Amino acid sequence: MKKLLIFHIIFLFSIFPIFSQKANPVVYNAIKEFEESFPEYSGKVYMTGGNGERTWEKQMEFILSRPGKYPNIQNRFSKCFGKKLPAAPSEMTAEMLSWWEREIMAQAGKPNGFAHVGGKAQDVSVRNLDLSGKQEFSKILQAHNLGIIYEIPPDSYYVSIDRATVFHCYLH
């Protein structure tokens, strides 16, 4: 019985890093590799948005400041509270804020949810790269097991790589 318990404890500690992995250090290592492999692009890419881990409050602000860009959660809010979204978090009741926290945290860390909230995504500015640099950087990110959504902030997603000014990098 003791051996089985010890085995389970060791097993859980050995797989824990898989569940707690964050995108930020993986992206950092990919940028470092890119700059070492292509010194002509050194200093031309950089992580944006801090450590890549957004609070639920910050995610709520993104949702509220982009009407129509998050239709599923915006529609659920309207249905639940019977009203259109307020323009600012300061206009919300404690019940509404509690709802936002619960809804956002339920999708935290998921690529099709709110990947930044769980630290599973990191944005990288690529505005200073030419197409060749973007393509080479993209290959390195993918080699680090990162998915990429090409963006032009604040609200153009899934654009072509040549138009992208930001790579939204997420863990698979």
Q: Which two tokens stand for residue 116?
A: 């930044």
Q: How far apart are the first and last CA of the chain?
A: 36
| Cα dihedral 73/104/171/43 (nearest 10) | 90
Residue 112: partners with Cβ closer than 8 Å, 6 or more residues away = none
Q: What percent of the chain has pLDDT over 90?
A: 57
Residue 107 has pLDDT above 60, yes or no: yes
**Confidence class for position 100, pLDDT limits 50, 70, 90:** very high
By the 8 A CB rule, do 52 and 123 touch?
A: yes
pLDDT at 39: 98
pLDDT digit string, tens, across residues 23-54: 889 999 999 999 999 999 999 999 997 666 78
> 21-25, 96-100, 121-125 — which is least confidently predicted?
21-25
